[in-house]
Amino acid sequence: MEKTNLQNESFISNESGFAAEESSVANAAFSGEDNSKYLNKKGEDIRLKSVSYSKYGYIFIAPFFLAFIIFQLYPIIYSLAISLTDLSYATDFAGTSQFIAFENYAFIFHHAAFWSSLVNTILIWSINFVPQLVAAYLFAAIFSSAMFKIKGTGAFKVIYYLPNIITATSVALLFKQMGEKSGILWDTMKSVGLINDAWSFGTANPINARVYIAFIQFWRYFGYTMITLVAGMLGINPTYYEAATIDGAGRVKMFFSITIPLLKPITLYTLVTSLVGGLQMFEIPFLMYDGKPTAHNGSLTTFTVACYIYNLAFPSNGEYHYGRAGAASGYLFIISAILSFITFKFFGKEAFGIDKPDKEKKKKLKTAKGV
């Protein structure tokens, strides 16, 4: 870090040397004047204060919001708008589509495949998230604990996070091959005697395929959750633990009454991002089990909401139903909006660092400035 600082210092000095000519013009205007009349009570130069830099705030964030409005907001609004029309492969983008109000929403609402895809998504997500959180907490506790000295903690963290970076499509294909009959996983499980010849990870069995996908999701994300929790645990002020030790609290009690409550915001952040991410689960089920309702004799055990929307918008038979897909997106939007609202309403401040100016905080700020 010291090295970087040195570099930066040289940067700054170069900078001032380079800009000397320009600034000398400005300095000339000030020269020969009594500078003290430009100082306010606190001794700050009011000429500096009087220049408003707020326009730069808008300029600096403008590219982000421009791209955001074009590439993210417009698509969402468009999807929601066409959900009220009969836009499809027949009416096309040509403009013959009609406003049909909430017919698409009614269609989706009465479409059994939508509900089963929603149930599947939530089921697969839950089977994955509960063990994921427990395992992440367990390992985060081990890695940040003073009680146990595990060697190579850094290496373990790197290994646990590794699955998260592997391309989802590769992961899907890899696990598909391993789980097939005569695949290495199937073979090994059979030779150990866990399964028999008839057993399969396929969608025919309502449990196997879901658990298999949930396991893959667990495998991909538990390292991420664990590292987030470790960071949170290391951020807890050690004085809490010292005080608790003096009060005679045991290690286990401290974990449940100090660590877990203080990690509530991070846990909730993980929960919401994981749930919203889970609602979008696409690649793994889509590639492993074709992600088509017709792919396995009408069995829909791994058909997720994202697969459902994709199949309405871009089905292989070419019967594109953009309006209906938009309505399905609308439902997804409502669910996500409710989730986001709950998060911001109850945990916004802690989980996202949005300041709600409360009295206590202002007091703190004042005292801080006074010092």
Output the smallest distance, CB 150 to another protein, in A. 6
- For residue 184, state whether it binds another protein (rule: CB under 8 A): yes
> Please, which residue, 156 or 206, has the CB nearer to another protein?
156
Question: Is 289 an interacting residue with respect to another protein (CB under 8 A)?
Answer: no
Q: Which is nearer to another protein, 25 or 101 (CB)?
A: 25
| Choice between 238 and 318, CB closer to another protein | 238
* 294 lies in the binding site for another protein (CB under 8 A): no
Which of these ranges, 101-109, 293-301, 344-352, 363-371, lies near another protein under the rule CB under 8 A? 344-352
Q: How far is the CB of 159 from another protein (least distance, A)?
A: 5
82 or 123, CB closer to another protein?
82
By CB under 8 A, residue 97 contacts another protein: no
Region from 31-39, 114-122, 343-351, 360-368 binding another protein, contact rule CB under 8 A = 343-351
Nearer to another protein, 118 or 279 (CB): 279
Q: Using CB under 8 A, pick the residue from 6, 39, 46, 77 that binds another protein.
A: 77
Q: What is the 3-state secondary structure (H, E, C) of the chain?
A: CHHHHHHHHHHHHHHHHHHHHHHHHHHHHHCCCCHHHHECCCCCEHHHHHCCCHHHHHHHHHHHHHHHHHHHHHHHHHHHHHCCECCCCCCCCCCCCCECCCHHHHHHHCCHHHHHHHHHHHHHHHHHHHHHHHHHHHHHHHHHCCCCCCCCHHHHHHHHHHHHHCCHHHHHHHHHHHHCCCCHHHHHHHHHCCCCCCCCCCCCCCCHHHHHHHHHHHHHHHHHHHHHHHHHHHCCCHHHHHHHHHCCCCHHHHHHHHHHHHCHHHHHHHHHHHHHHHHCCCHHHHHHCCCCCCCCCCCCCCCCHHHHHHHHHCCCCCCCCHHHHHHHHHHHHHHHHHHHHHHHHHHHHHHHCCCCCCHHHHHHHHHHHHC
Does residue number 196 form part of the binding site for another protein (CB under 8 A)? no
Binding to another protein in span 229-268, by CB under 8 A: 229-232, 234-235, 238, 241, 245, 250-251, 265-266
Which listed residue (29, 32, 37, 148) binds another protein by CB under 8 A? 148
Q: Which stretch binds another protein (CB under 8 A): 100-108, 124-132, 166-174, 204-212?
A: 166-174
